[in-house]
Every structure is written in structure tokens, then in C-alpha cells.
Structure 1
Amino acid sequence: MSTLALDAAGLEKLVSAAVAAPSIHNSQPWRFHLQPATSTLEVRADRSRAVPAADPQGRALHISVGAAILNLRVAARHLGWAPEVRLLPDPADPDLFAAVRLDGAATVPAPGTERLFEAIWRRHSIRTPFTGEPVPQAVLDELVAAARTEHTALQLPDHAETTRLLHLTAEAERRSTTDEAQRTESRSWIRTGDAEAQPYGIPVTALGPQDQAGHLPVRDFAALRAAEHQAPAPFEHEPRIAVLTTEHDTPEDWLRAGLALEHVLLAATVHGVRASLLHQAMEWPYLRWEARDPHRGPGYVQILIRLGYGPEGAPTPRLAAGNVLDREE
């Protein structure tokens, strides 16, 4: 952009980047509202696309919107702004998750902005097996640092702790596929028709197989419908799991977890590392509490991230920027 005027083209770029973020079941539970008088873009929750059976507290909804805020911040920096992000700025308006002020130009480009911005469009969740090639320690260290910049922690458990976490995830997966409310809700987000007509949810083509050995519990969106299952496939024997945690467990912590999650995913994409999200245990309070590593002291697990190498993954549909953007006249 030749100027920093918040024109229609710039606004569309910002919102298009934001809606490319991951969200639980690709529910895209966000709306954006421009206040031109203050050059502020408000990020609001759209609870009409909540997933109450899996996320009764709205924790995953906050994480989803937090991921969109991270993309918005990266895109704003890419366009030359120095965005000022305030989380939950108005206690009287709990659906206003963030206010992003865009009235200042960046004096120095933020390090790594261009690589992260380019990664926004290449980041896709993958639900298929990885090659088993280990992620280099230097890359893992960079992902840990990315989470730290968002005031969260990314833990890299050892083999024994990884096995324990996968057992918890498997137990959560069993509960989710046999619980009627969870099963019905999960199925309702699968899309078999035209992506333009149903620009949210998960296309059936983006689903993956189950692990042939039963070691890695991938979410079964088909939920016991055998006719919809892909043939089982061998997954990596030693999965690299990362655990995203926060010090506390408030709505602001959930938003920060979303910012950190997307920052980690974009940084991974820069290095050609693929990711899939293991959220099942987070949806059952006892199992989520059990996911804490007692040797690391207090903290709250927000999500597990599986990292590795493999195909890029299939994109999922997104709502158009104009469908989630409100403007003040």
C-alpha cells in the first residue's frame, strides 16, 4: 500500500487474513466491526457458530478468535501499521474480544513479519500420517519462543509423557464418539456439498484415516459411521507432541492461547513443518486436568499440537471477508 489509509482494499486484506485462522470444527466464530473515527477494528465473538457440546465454557471459541487476532496483527504489520491490540477491552461488552487500533505506522518492520504473513495462506491442518522424520531441535526451539512471545508456554514432553497424553486423548476420543450430544454436534460440522454454499465446517475430503495401530487417536468426525471412514493407515511411530499451556485459565488466557497457537502454527509452516490439533481431552474437564504435567508445576493445558512432516494438507472453506465485516456508516 502506498499510504496507511484504512481503505476498502486494506480492510479486506486484514479481514481475509484473520478468517484464514484455524477454529474448532472450522466454525469461524468471529465478526469484525470497523470504527472509522478511531481507525479501530473490533473483533467480536459470533456465538451463533459456537459448539456447545464440545465447548460449553466457550474456551475453544476464545482460542479460535485469538488465532484470528494473531493473523490480523501479522497482516496489519505486513501492510505497514504498528497495530495496538487490546484484549477484552470493555468488561460491559463480553463479546468484544479485542480492539485493534490502526492509526500508527511502524517505524521498523517487526522481525519475521513477511514470512509469517506468507505462511497464513499456506497453513492447513493435516489429518493424515506424517513421515516420521523428526523435527530439528532448532525449529522446535523457535516454536517455543513463538509461544513465549504471546505470554504462554509450549512444552515438549518426553516419550513417557507423550504416551500418557495420547492415552488421555484416546480416552477422550472414546467418550466423544459415544456421547450422543458430542457425536451429533461433530457430525453436523461435516460438509459434503459445495464449499461456496457451505463456507464453514469441514469438507469430507479434508478428513483423515484412523491410525492402523490405534496408537495415535485422530478425531473421528464420522463418529461410528463405518461407511464414511477412510481405510486405516499407519501413522508415525514416535509422534512429536507439543503442549500449549497458560499460567491461568481466564478468558484472556484463552485468547492468548489462540494467539500463541497461530503464532506457533505459522512459524512451523515457515519451516515446512505440518501440524494437526489434538483437542479431544480438552473437552472433558477431568481429562483436561489430568493432561497437566505435575513435574512442571501449576499451569493449564489449552491444546495439544502434533508436529511433523507430510503433505501440505487440504484447505477448508472460509467465509468471505464481506460476510463477517460490519462497517459504521
Structure 2
Amino acid sequence: MSSATLTPEQRERILRAATSAPSKHNTQPWWFRWSGDDLEVHIDPRRTLRLGDPTGREAHIACGAAAFAARLGYASLGLGTETVLLPGGGPLSVALVRVTGSAPDPRFDTLYWSLPSRRTHRAPFRETPIPSLVLENLRDAARDEGAWLRGVEQEPAYERLLTLIREATGLEDDRLREERARWVDAPDAVHRLDGVPAGSLGPRPLDPTGAVRDLAVGRDVPGRGTIAFESRPAVAVLETRGDTPLAWLTAGQALMRVLVTGTRYGVAASFANQPLENAELRAEVGSEARHYGTAQMVLRLGMGVEVPPTPRRPLSEVLGPEELA
């Protein structure tokens, strides 16, 4: 283990950045360990979804996003880093964010300051279209991390994707919804610092299009309400060349870079990953691809408005037990 030079305050800054990453149903499926000034990222198997994420694909994506966010935390301290994916030490040791001694990417400081404003946006977007230059910046952000963000804009591909999302929603069984209910507006939500509380669900869409995922579908959430959403939401698919744990982690880093780049320009995102939870439908989502081809995330994008954050656990709960001795 290398010697440590980071102060407790600096370590806290990096960890807060890392834990700001999104995760499916806000399960926060990670834990961290310091190795000198380097940060290990591990999957927490107690926080994975047996039915909703049986292969751990989305847990890997979340941990990849946390690794990229940690890089931004380091950059805000003037420290350059590199991420070693699948560094060894067991199947749940998925990333090592290592200090390199070089200067950080000059773009990272701006992205770091976008972290506190990033939200998963389950409310309507403004009808204002996303500027084409901003969309190009989002594609560049994914490409910089080894992935591809494919905008789905033209017919018939656009309606086909929305149809797949609607079809996947209809195929959900009761067991899957019961598992999700343990994390979404859970009975003990008022005492928890994870999951998605009722206040972060957003309203039900008046005219469901498929691009807006209702995490509480089939359930009555008091005070939630129904409202018209944007008439033609922008949708995009984040893709990787392969479909291995390494590819999933790559997708996570790319996802986080896309999200904070969008936040900088007032663009927010929510997720419509229902068809990716079904092997047959997932293959169809990627069938239109011309570059990479393996669909990892389906994003609804738009010009956002202020929405409440989802909770995060205290840092004492995301560190390995030896860190707290």
C-alpha cells in the first residue's frame, strides 16, 4: 500500500463526489477502500437487485459512474488520475482510481462543480429543444470514455424504441415490481438514505409515451398527480463494443461524463431501461446501431427544471470496515 498524503477533508471531498453517481433505484451498490491516496471501488452484493439486475450489469455501471465521479473529485484538488478497471482482488473489486502525478484533464474542474446539480429528472422537461452543439458535446463525452451515445431521432427507429419500452413495461411481472417497491417509495422511506422517495418520483405522465419510466407503476402514491410531459422527448442509447463486466464499467464512466456534461448546459436525463432488462428486447434496442451495438442504457434527455435530489448514505456507511477502525 502506498503512503497517504490526502487530508481527511480531501478524502471526504473525493468520496462525496463518488457517491453522487446515479444507480438503479438509488441502491448505491458500492463500497470504497483507500489504498494510500488511491481509491478502490467495490460492488456491495447486499445492494444488488436479484431480479432487476441478475447479472450485476447495472451495478457495474453504477460503480463505473462512481469511479468517474471520484476522478472529478481528485481533479478539483489538482490531482490527475487514471482508472484501472477490474484491478484484481476478487470479482467485486471493480475499479481502482489511481493518482498519476500528472495534471488533471482541464475540463474536469468544470465538470466537478456540476456534480451537485446533477439529478435523475423524472418530471417534464421544457419544450425547448437541446441545441445541436450541446448534443455533439454529449456524444464527445461518451466517446472520450470509450463508449457511443446514439441519438434516436428518425422514424421508424424512434417509434420502434418507444414501442420496445412500452412492451417491456407490460412484460414486468409482480415479483420484479415487488422487488422494486422495496427501494421505491418504500414503507420505511422516511428513515432511509437510499432508494427513491415519493418526492423524487415525479408525476405520472398524462399520455404515456414510453420514454418516461414510472417506477411506481400500478401503485397509488398519494399526492403524486398527473401532468402532460414534453410532446416528443429526445432519446438516446449508450452503447459499448462488448457486453462484459469491463464494458459495463466503461459504460458507467461514459454515462457519468455524459450526465455532468449535460448538467453544465442545463440538460438533464432520466432512464427508460425496461427493454434492457429483457434479453430479447435488449437485442432489438441495439439492432439499429451502426458503431458499437451493445445497448447499456436508454436515456431520455431534455432541458431540465429544478427537481429534488435523491438521498445519499453517510460516508461512514460506504467505507470498508477496516477504514472505520
TM category, shorter: over 0.9
SS of the equivalent of 1:291 reads: helix
Distance in 1 (CA, whole Å) between partners of 2:283 and 2:300 is 19
Q: Which amino acid aligns with 2:165?
A: T
SS of the equivalent of 1:81 reads: coil
Q: What's 1:118 paired with?
A: 113
Q: What's 2:92 paired with?
A: 95
Counterpart contact for 1:196–1:317, Cα < 8 Å:
no
Alignment CA distance shift 1:196-1:165 (3 Å): same
CA offsets, 1:2-61, max 9 Å, x none? xx921211111111110011000000000001123xx32111000101111111111011
Alignment CA distance shift 1:6-1:159 (3 Å): same
Aligned-residue offset at 1:314? 1.3
Q: How does 1:145-184 map to 2 (within 5 A)?
A: 145-160=140-155, 161-176=157-172, 179-184=173-178
* Structure 1 unpaired stretches of 5+: none
* Structure 2 unpaired stretches of 5+: none
Q: Which amino acid aligns with 1:276?
A: S
Q: How does 1:14-53 map to 2 (within 5 A)?
A: 14-36=14-36, 39-53=37-51
Aligned-residue offset at 1:214? 2.2
Counterpart contact for 2:29–2:63, Cα < 8 Å:
yes
Which among 311, 317, 324 is matched to residue 323 of structure 1? 317
Alignment CA distance shift 1:96-1:166 (3 Å): same
Distance in 1 (CA, whole Å) between partners of 2:291 and 2:34 is 42
Distance in 2 (CA, whole Å) between partners of 1:57 and 1:158 is 30
Distance in 1 (CA, whole Å) between partners of 2:304 and 2:83 is 34
Distance in 1 (CA, whole Å) between partners of 2:197 and 2:67 is 24
Q: What's 2:62 paired with?
A: 64
Distance in 2 (CA, whole Å) between partners of 1:295 and 1:49 is 32
Counterpart contact for 1:222–1:228, Cα < 8 Å:
no
Distance in 2 (CA, whole Å) between partners of 1:309 and 1:270 is 11
Distance in 1 (CA, whole Å) between partners of 2:289 and 2:69 is 33
Q: What's 2:11 paired with?
A: 11
CA offsets, 1:174-210, max 9 Å, x none? 222xx02111011110246787731100011111223
Normalised by the length of structure 1, the TM-score is 0.91
Alignment CA distance shift 1:194-1:123 (3 Å): farther
Distance in 2 (CA, whole Å) between partners of 1:229 and 1:166 is 27
153-162 or 245-254: bigger deviation: 153-162
Counterpart contact for 2:153–2:234, Cα < 8 Å:
no
Identical-pair percentage: 38
Q: Which amino acid aligns with 2:284?
A: E
Aligned-residue offset at 1:217? 4.3
Q: Find runs of 4+ consecutive structure 1 residues off by over 4 angstroms.
A: 192-196
Counterpart contact for 1:172–1:287, Cα < 8 Å:
yes
Alignment CA distance shift 1:70-1:297 (3 Å): closer
Which among 71, 74, 79 is matched to residue 73 of structure 1? 71
Which among 277, 285, 298 is matched to residue 279 of structure 2? 285
Which among 118, 122, 134 is matched to residue 129 of structure 2? 134
222-231 or 136-145: bigger deviation: 222-231
Alignment CA distance shift 1:181-1:196 (3 Å): closer
Q: Confirm or deny that 1:303 pairs with 2:297.
A: yes
Counterpart contact for 2:241–2:293, Cα < 8 Å:
yes
Counterpart contact for 1:53–1:185, Cα < 8 Å:
yes
Distance in 1 (CA, whole Å) between partners of 2:315 and 2:171 is 36
Counterpart contact for 1:206–1:316, Cα < 8 Å:
yes
Cα RMSD (Å): 1.9
Aligned-residue offset at 1:279? 1.1
Counterpart contact for 1:172–1:280, Cα < 8 Å:
yes
Q: Which amino acid aligns with 2:95?
A: A
Which among 307, 314, 319 is matched to residue 313 of structure 1? 307
Alignment CA distance shift 1:223-1:85 (3 Å): same
Distance in 1 (CA, whole Å) between partners of 2:51 and 2:219 is 19
Aligned-residue offset at 1:242? 1.2
